[in-house]
Every structure is written in C-alpha cells, then in structure tokens.
Amino acid sequence: MKFEALLHGNFSSLGKAVTDWTEMIDKLESLKWDAEEVLQGRAKKADWAGENATVTREFVTKTAKEFGDAYNQAVTIRNILQDTRNELISYRDELKRTISTAQKEKNLTVVPSGNGWTIQMNIHPDRAGKGIDLPEHSQADMEDLSGDIKRIVKNLRYLTKERVWRSDAPMGDPDKIVGYDKLGHALESATTGYAYDAPELNGKHPMVPGSADRRTAETADVMEQVAYIYGGKDGPKLIHEQEGISDSLGRMGAAYIDDINNSVSGISDNAGHDPSEFPAKYQGRAEFGNQGAIDFLSVLGQDEKSHGIVTAAEHVYSLSVLDDSPANSDAHYQRGKDALLTDAEVRGILDHSRVQQAETTYGANSEEANKSIAKSGEWGKYLIGTGVAAGVAMVPVPGSTGAAIALAPVATEAAGEMLNTFLGQKVDEAVDGANSDPQNRPRTREGSFSRQAPTT
C-alpha cells in the first residue's frame, strides 16, 4: 500500500461495510432459526405420507441448510472486513507514532515521494530558531527508520498474498480454503462502496439517479492497491491459486473501467493532458499508471470469468463515450477516436492474455485450447439484460453464486442511441462473427502487453 494512502487513510467505508454486514447477520440469524426450528421442526412432526411427503421434507431440509449457509458466509465476510479494517487502522496508527517519535527524538521525518517516501530532517539547522537545540541523528538512525516504515507499509500485501483466509463456518472441511471467495467479497465492498449482496446488485432494489456510483478517494486507494498486488509479479499465481476470487476481481475491474481506460490511454501520465478525454466521475480517482493498468488487465484476462466481466464492461463504457461525444465537433471526434483506440487496446490486452493462458494450459493449437478460447468469446452473453441508469451500467453475471450484477461506470446518465442499439440486438448474433476465429484478436500498439507470463 502506498505510504501516503496509509498515513492519511480514512477507513470509514470499511466501517460502514462492517456495520451493514452485522445487520445482515442479525437478519439471517433470525431466518436461520425460523427455518431450522420452526419449518424443519413442523416438517418432522407433520403427519405426511407418500412420495409428496418425502419431497416436501427434503425441500424444507434443503431450505433450512441454505439459510444456515448464508448465515455462515455472512459471518465470514463480516469478520474479514472487520479484521482488514482493524489491521489497516493499526498499521496507520503505528506509522503515525513512528514518524512522530522520529521527529521528536531524532529530528527526522518521512514525506511522500512518488509512490514511496523520503526520509529527511524535520527541521534544518539553518532554519532553526536561536537557542533551539536540535536532536542529532546518524545514518544508522535513518536506516532504522526506513526499515520500520517498510515493515509497516505492507498491510494489504499481507492480507492478499500471505494470510490464509479460511471459512468461519463450523461445518465442512476445515482444510478447504474457501475464505478467498470471501476475501474477494470484502475487497469488492471496500472498492465499490456496496455490500457484496446489496439489493442493488441482485436486481431487487432500483438505482436512485445520482447515487449509483459510490466510489470515493478512499475506495480508489484500495483499488489501486488491489491492482498493484494482482497486477504484480505474483498476480498470475494469485488469481489461479486463490480459488473463488477471480469473479470478484472482474467486478472490481468493471467498477473502475473508466479509470483503467484513462490509465491505459497514457493520457494521465502526460503533463498538461486534456482531462475531458476520460473525465473523472468522482474526486480522487484511481490512478494505475499505464504499465500498471496493462499488467492488471493481463492478469484479469487469464481467467475466463474475470475476462468476460471486464470485456463486457469495457464495451459498454466505450459505447457510452461515443454516445456522449457525437461527431459534431473536432473535439468530440477526437474524443470518440481516442475512446475507440483505447477500447481496442484494452480488449486486445484481455484477449491476448486469454489466448496465452489457454495455450499454456492445453498446448498451442490444441483442440482444448481452441475450445477454451472460443468459450471466452462468449463474453457478449454477459450483456444480455444489461441496463443503464444513474450513470452506471448493471451488467448481469451469468452463473454468479452471489452478486448477480457487475456495476460499470458509463459516460452518460442513461443509455444513448449507440448503447441502446447494441444492447437491443441479439447479442449472440452480434458477437458470433467477431469470434469465429479465436486467434483473430483486436490489435494493440507494440509493447502494450504485460510483462507477466501466464501460469502453468
């Protein structure tokens, strides 16, 4: 995690997520008790006979178990969020204490510098007032302080890479690591501002105009660290070994697809760039850097689920930019052109990574590899039923075990002509031609691909 992000971290969004999940646990506990004690109890005592009796009792037993499973999962997610928040706060406070002690006892301080930090004198002797004795420090003191800072600023890296997340469920195989699925849910909550099973994400609660995008500078800080960890050298290993986390990473990528486009375009890396090309939709937007965004996309592309979710989100976002920039002026024409070029690059990175992974797993040009690549070309099915409201697209996630919708920011408040036309078509027919040859992928500029190799 970046030094500055941790030093000034405000983890209230995680605190709210903990509160929301605690309330959900209370509700599920009541439902669990009703299902197990009332429904199942009555079913056992009921004077039923025949085949219908067996089917009914099995249904009641299954339903009671599902309520119990839902309760256990909610407890696991709440505890992960709570542990994460407590550890982040602990590291932040320790960092502040360490810096304060260095200032008072060694006249040293730590200031942000790029993506890291620099140690310097707190008060320079030339600027000290008369009669003020400044504490002295040695090179060893500076090295010790640097070591302390490095030790502290590794919290999210520990949480995602080193800690073993296991389920809190009292039943089942204790050696099965199902906690990575819950870690993914916790990170989703921390990056999107929505509880993983929020009613807005399962279609049971309408979006309120202007309130759908809940991203903030705080959530963006967390997202930057997620992209840094999973887009880093260990990213391919993590997404394949942390079973159940890939769909969460895909939904997080979709939720920040506008910021990812901004970084992939390279515009934000250039001083004096035009912010209207990929305008920020909230204060303190996520900045991944050009190579950082490419590396993160390359890891997402290796997994079928995350590849499909992010590809769908990318297509929706790019069409919305075209809707927002009709070609009636030079500025709009240029913005639309840049959006299409960046769209081709983003999807090219995702597809290139998917092809490489399939060939690594099954062997180049093998039947299994071609089947896997062709299946990845079915991302268009994610768009069936997509709706746009309140400045976000709600993209259905087929086969999802929890949140049924991935949120993707769009450039317009509602769907425009281009986006409506595309979403109104039969998606299977729309993408069939583009994916008839699994090796036919959008081109990207040279050097756009990640340095991360697929995992064997």
Taking residues 207-214, what's their average pLDDT?
63
Reply yes or no on whether the pLDDT at 32 is more than 90.
no
Reply yes or no on whether the pLDDT at 438 is more than 50.
no
Cβ atoms 32, 71 nearer than 8 A:
yes
Residue 410 confidence (pLDDT): 92
Taking residues 352-378, what's their average pLDDT?
79
Least confident of 36-45, 134-143, 302-311, 349-358: 36-45
Residue keyed to tokens 């709210």: 16
Beta-sheet strands, E only, within 211-320: none
CA dihedral sign of residues 186, 348, 313, 426: negative
Q: Between 363 and 409, whose confidence is greater? A: 409
- Which residues are paired to 69 by β-bridges? none
Question: 257: closest CA among 203, 216, 296?
Answer: 296
Reply yes or no on whether the pLDDT at 359 is more than 60.
yes
Residue 445 confidence (pLDDT): 46
Residue 439 confidence (pLDDT): 46
Q: What are phi and psi of 117, to 5 degrees?
A: -150, 165
Q: Which helix (H) or strand (E) holds 113?
A: strand 108-113
Residue 25 confidence (pLDDT): 85
User: What letter represents residue 256's amino acid?
Assistant: Y
Residue 164 confidence (pLDDT): 65
Q: Could you tell me the pLDDT band of residue 211, with boundaries at 50, 70 and 90?
A: low
Dihedral (C-alpha) 217, 185, 317, 1: value to the nearest 10 degrees?
Answer: 40
User: What letter represents residue 14's amino acid?
Assistant: L
Reply yes or no on whether the pLDDT at 433 is more than 90.
no
Q: Could you tell me the pLDDT band of residue 165, with boundaries at 50, 70 and 90?
A: low
Taking residues 194-200, what's their average pLDDT?
75
Residue 204 confidence (pLDDT): 59
Helix (H, G, I), strand (E, B) or coil at 349: helix
Percent of the chain residues past pLDDT 90, beyond the cut = 21
d(CA 384, CA 373): 20
Residue 442 confidence (pLDDT): 43
Q: Could you tell me the pLDDT band of residue 38, with boundaries at 50, 70 and 90?
A: confident
Question: 302: closest CA among 376, 395, 401?
Answer: 376
Q: Between 453 and 222, whose confidence is greater? A: 222
Taking residues 192-207, what's their average pLDDT?
70
- Which residues are paired to 120 by β-bridges? 109
* Cβ neighbours of 68 (radius 10 Å): 20
Residue 452 confidence (pLDDT): 59
Residue keyed to tokens 């256990």: 72
d(CA 59, CA 52): 10
Taking residues 17-41, what's their average pLDDT?
82
Reply yes or no on whether the pLDDT at 22 is more than 60.
yes
Reply yes or no on whether the pLDDT at 395 is more than 70.
yes
